[in-house]
Amino acid sequence: MGSQPEPHILFTRDEIAATVKRLATEIRRDYQDKHPLLIGVLKGSFMFMADLIRLLDFPLEVEFITVSSYGRAMESSGKIKVVQGLRSKVRGRDVLVIEDIVDTGLAISFLLDYLRKKKPASLRLCALTDKPSRRQVPVTIDYLGFTVPNKFIVGYGIDWDEKFRYLPDIYTLEGDI
Ligand code: PRP
C-alpha cells in the first residue's frame, strides 16, 4: 500500500514574507508613477497577490483572470483557455501579471500572448515561484520570488488536487502522488 502524500517544509512564512517584501520594493521602483494594472491569475495567486498589494503604496488597479490548463491530473493537458476574463481595458495600460508558479510555462505563455493582443503599453510577469526544470516553452520572469526543485509544491495558495492551498508556508509534497 502506498503512503499518503505528506507536506515537507520548503519555505517558511517568514521567508515568504521577506521575499514578497523584496518583490514589492522592485515593483514599486518600476511602477510607482505608472498606475499599473495588476492581473492575478486565479486561483493559485490569490494569497500572494493579497500580501504583495498590501505593500504597494501607490495607485494601481487590481484584476483577476482564470486560465484553465490542468484537470484533476497533475500533468498539463496542453489545452488552455481563459475561463473568466477581465473587466478592465488592457489597451495602453502598464500591465503586470501575478502568478504563483511557472512550471511548463504553457499557461502563462498562452496568457501573455492573449494579453499582448490587447495592446498594453507594457506587459511584465511577476511569479512567486519558478520550476525551470519542467519548462516546455521559454518564459521571461521579470520579478521572481523563488526557484523551486522538480517536486510538487503546495501551500500559500498553491494546491494539489484542490488541497493544501490554505497552508501559510510552502511545502514539497512527498510520497505517492
Ligand atoms: C497552475 C499555476 C499556473 C500553472 C502553471 O494553475 O497557477 O497558472 O498551473 O503551470 P504551467 O507552467 O505548467 O502551465 P492551475 O491550472 O493548477 O490552477 P490553480 O491556479 O487554480 O491552482
138-162: pLDDT as tens digits: 999 999 999 999 999 999 999 999 9
CA distance 15 to 122: 30
Please give the pLDDT value at position 78.
60
- The answer to whether the CB of 111 falls within 8 A of the CB of 137 is no
Q: Is 148 helix (H, G, I), strand (E, B) or coil?
A: coil
Q: Is 176 a catalytic residue?
A: no
Looking at per-residue confidence, does 110 or 175 come out higher? 110
Mutate to test the pocket of ligand 1, among 65, 67, 101, 156 (most ligand atoms within 8 A of CB): 101
Write down the catalytic residue from 94, 103, 113, 161. Answer: 103
Which residue has a Cα nearest atom 21 of ligand 1?
A: 43
Those residues with Cβ within 8 angstroms of residue 30's Cβ, 6 or more apart along the chain or in another chain: none
Please give the pLDDT value at position 72.
40
In this prediction, residue 77 has a pLDDT band, given cuts at 50, 70 and 90, of low
Which residue has a Cα nearest atom 22 of ligand 1?
A: 44
- pLDDT tens readout for residues 112-139: 999 999 999 999 999 999 999 999 999 9
Please give the pLDDT value at position 73.
44
- pLDDT tens readout for residues 25-74: 999 999 999 999 999 999 999 999 999 999 999 999 999 999 987 544 44
Whether the model pTM is above 0.85: yes
- The answer to whether the CB of 45 falls within 8 A of the CB of 74 is no
